[in-house]
Structure 1
Amino acid sequence: MLSVLAVVVGVLVGMVGVGGVLLPPGLVALGDMTASEATATSTWAFVFTGVVGTIAYAWRGVVPWDMLARLAMGVVPAAFAGALVNAILPGPVVLLGLAALTLFVGVHQLRPRAVRDGRAELGTTALVVIGALVGFGSALTGTGGPVLLVPILLAVGVAPLKAVAVSQAVQLPVVASGSVGYLQTGLVDVGLGTALGGLAALGVVVGAAVATRIHADGLRRIVAVACIAAGVFLLVRVTL
């Protein structure tokens, strides 16, 4: 089941930028891991989706490299800090954070989307701050980067394809910095994370290939239901 989940997560990440939020809850539920182990291992797994996603979108010439560079200025130190904070937090606190993030993403995907012109231009300060928020939150929860960055960029008026493309590339500084922090704590299951990351990377290739060819509204609703179900599961697990 974890193998299937990894492929599905990869497809969703490659196509609409969300999906990574489902892997940590899956590792808790199906891999019998603690919340900290799940977030650490999923962060390592997203190294592989980051590499493949960046290549896939760069090959199509749609990655905004200038935006990525400014986001990375905030992402790198914040992701490292997020990993270290996760390692010292009690398990229930991490689970609650995962539940809150998962439910937020699910509800966000169900909300009606206002029509934006997609021409928003963000300054360096704004992008560094966004990068810091995304880096810290993604490393803390083991969700890779796109799941936080895409909703934020869409909310401020960045074009959807541009938002998804830069979110693929931003995974690399997020998960690289986060993984360095997690490896120091000994929480990463490198073997499992590598295997799941490879499967998810295959899914990213498929997702990226169809990202510009299908209407994503139906898929977003499926993602929303899955995220809400995962969030409810985590809340129930905390209370047991």
Structure 2
Amino acid sequence: MRSESAIVLSAQLGLLLAAVGLLGGAAIGAVGPGGVFVTIALFLLLPLTPAEVAGTASATFVGTGLIGTAVYRHSGEFSTAPARKMVLVLCASSLAGAPLGARLNAVLPAAAFGNLLAAFVGILGAIIIYREVAGLHQTAWFTGAATWTRHLTLAGTGFGVSVTGAMLGVGGPILLVPILVVLGVPTLIAVGASQVQSVIIAAGATITYASVGAVLGWLVLLVGIPQLVGVWLGW
């Protein structure tokens, strides 16, 4: 990996990245998902490798996830045993998924990473439009299924979300929340669970990317500090 000092920012670009972090954090605080804006900005505005984009973005999500977890824990979203078990299953599966996703990133050419990120954003936009127009309808089979079936479904969901989130550096809530809502999980519990899982995804991805020098510390601070301020403002 290149030396961190090899990338020189103009004052205008530095302010733009800080502003993106602030707005992304505000989106995280207001609606849950929002970190993807940081990932897109890092990819489009800086000459970074896919690993540096995903690794640096993931590092900024550790703090936002911890804040989100504390807020939803304080509000009582994890007060029931089923909610706590769901979070445990999601996090356990993410322990394996996040490092795998980060390693898969290493084999992606820059063009392929950009195409996957664009496809992800397109799918996300379609989901948002569909949710606003038609709404997300809960499935009856999940809530009525046997315990082991629900746990396997949650484990598979957590694993898939963590692999994707770590590979692209987009976190987890942006994917997990709509999936859990469709499965019948109340929205606030779904958002709270996604914040806890996001810490595991971000930490696992950051450690894996940092092991190959793909986390730019100065850039984490430049984007991450305004992002934390944005989270506070969003709430």
Shorter-chain TM-score tier: 0.7 to 0.9
Measure, in 2, the Cα distance between the counterparts of 1:25 and 1:35: 11
2:28 to 13, 16, 21: 13
How far apart in 2 are the matches of 1:19 and 1:30? 18
Indicate yes or no: 2:222 matched with 1:202: no
Task: Establish whether residue 161 from structure 1 lines up as the match of residue 161 from structure 2.
Answer: no
- Structure 1 residue 114, shift from structure 2 partner: 4.1
Q: Report if the CA contact (8 A) 1:42-1:143 is conserved.
A: yes
**Superposed, which structure 2 residues align to 1:37-186 within 5 Å?**
37-63=52-78, 64-111=83-130, 112-114=134-136, 116=138, 121=143, 123-186=150-213
Separation (CA, whole Å) in 2 of partners of 1:114 and 1:174: 25
**Unaligned 5+ runs, structure 2:** 1-15
C-alpha RMSD of the superposition: 2.0
Counterpart pick for 1:25 among 16, 30, 40: 40
Q: Which amino acid aligns with 1:105?
A: L
Gap regions ≥5 residues in structure 1: 210-240
The 2-side partners of 1:170 and 1:142 are apart by 14
Equivalent residue, structure 1, for 2:10:
none
Letter in 2 for 1:113: G
> Is the Cα–Cα contact under 8 Å of residues 83 and 182 in structure 1 kept in the other structure?
yes
In 1: Cα distance, 2:25 partner to 2:47 partner: 21
Residues 10 and 202 of structure 1 are in contact (CA less than 8 Å); yes or no, is this contact kept in structure 2? yes
1:171: Cα distance to partner?
Answer: 0.8
- Within 1, Cα distance between the matches of 2:84 and 2:47? 39
1:113 and 1:181 map into 2 onto residues whose CA distance is: 37
Cα offset for 1:33? Answer: 2.4
Give structure 1 regions of 4+ aligned residues with deviation exceeding 3 angstroms: 114-118
**TM-score in terms of structure 1 length:** 0.80
What percent of counterpart residues are identical? 31
Q: Do the aligned partners of 1:48 and 1:198 also contact (CA within 8 Å) in 2? A: no
Deviation at 1:157, TM superposition (A): 2.2
User: How many residues are paired up?
Assistant: 208
Q: Please identify the structure whose Cα radius of gyration is greater.
A: 2
Which letter does structure 1 place at the counterpart of 2:94?
Answer: V
Distance in 2 between residues matched to 1:108 and 1:44, nearest whole Å: 26
Distance, in Å, in 1 between the alignment partners of 2:228 and 2:168 is 20
- Partner SS for 1:88: coil
For the 8 Å contact 2:50–2:109, the answer to whether it is kept is no
TM-score calculated relative to the size of structure 2: 0.82
- Partners of 1:194 and 1:47 lie apart in 2 by 12
- CA distance in 2 between counterparts of 1:124 and 1:70 reads 7
My pick for the range that moved more, 174-183 or 58-67, is 58-67
Opposite residue 20 of structure 2, the aligned amino acid is L
Q: Which moved more, 1:37-46 or 1:193-202?
A: 193-202
Q: Please name the residue that 1:226 is paired with.
A: none
Taking the aligned partners of 1:55 and 1:24, their CA distance within structure 2 comes to 24
